[in-house]
């Protein structure tokens, strides 16, 4: 069994049972379980999450993408800033990116007010942060490779040659 094949399957559907993973990878459950344990222990697999369509879950959370500009000095690097930012539960994603700003931050909270307050009270005051631009997410069409479209549109005939 190739590790990359197992990862492909997990990326597609992390809820696949170890029994089914073993069947698809032509191996036994114990081998798959050992590899899963190793992937988790190595930190190669950091977690498993459901991909939710915000339009269809009850307690609708507000998401925003926040652009962060920072200044560095001799004592402070990106890592140091990141280490502090990841501590906030409201920050769901944090990436250093190329281009016009430094960090792309995914923020999630109960309301637009809560997101705004979080950014102005918790993020903006961080000494190295020089500028924030907040983009509220209005609609999600695709996430984690899954397009949010309407159900099953298999229009094939049920039996064909």
Contact region with another protein (CB under 8 A), list: 19-27, 49-57, 60-68, 100-108 = 19-27
When asked if residue 128 is in the footprint of another protein (CB under 8 A), the reply is: no
Q: Least separation, in Å, of the C-beta of 36 and another protein?
A: 17
Residue 129 phi/psi, 5-degree rounding, is: -80, 125
3-state secondary structure of 113: helix
In whole angstroms, give the CA distance from residue 105 to residue 128. 15
CA atoms within 13 A on the CB side of 115: 22
Q: 24-43: which residues touch another protein (CB under 8 A)?
A: 24-26
Contact indicator for 81, 70 with CB cutoff of 8 Å: yes
Q: Least separation, in Å, of the C-beta of 161 and another protein?
A: 5
Q: Which residue, among 115, 91, 116, 117, has the nearest Cα to 104 in the 3D structure?
A: 91
When asked if residue 22 is in the footprint of another protein (CB under 8 A), the reply is: yes
Q: Least separation, in Å, of the C-beta of 33 and another protein?
A: 16
When asked if residue 156 is in the footprint of another protein (CB under 8 A), the reply is: yes
Kindly list the residues in this chain that would bind another protein in the complex (CB under 8 A). Answer: 8-9, 13, 16, 20, 22-26, 154, 156-161
């Amino acid at each position: 069994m190739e590790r990359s094949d197992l990862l492909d399957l997990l990326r597609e559907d992390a809820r696949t049972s170890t029994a089914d993973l073993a069947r698809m990878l032509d191996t036994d459950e114990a081998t798959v379980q050992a590899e899963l344990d190793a992937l988790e222990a190595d930190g190669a697999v950091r977690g498993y999450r459901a991909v939710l369509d915000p339009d269809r879950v009850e307690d609708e959370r507000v998401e925003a993408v926040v652009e962060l500009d920072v200044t560095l000095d001799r004592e402070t690097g990106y890592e140091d800033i990141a280490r502090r930012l990841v501590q906030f539960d409201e920050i769901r994603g944090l990436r250093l990116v190329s281009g016009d700003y430094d960090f792309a931050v995914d923020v999630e909270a109960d309301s637009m007010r809560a997101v705004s307050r979080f950014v102005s009270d918790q993020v903006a005051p961080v000494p190295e942060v020089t500028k924030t631009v907040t983009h509220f997410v209005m609609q999600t069409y695709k996430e984690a490779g899954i397009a949010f479209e309407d159900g099953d549109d298999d229009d094939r005939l049920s039996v064909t040659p």
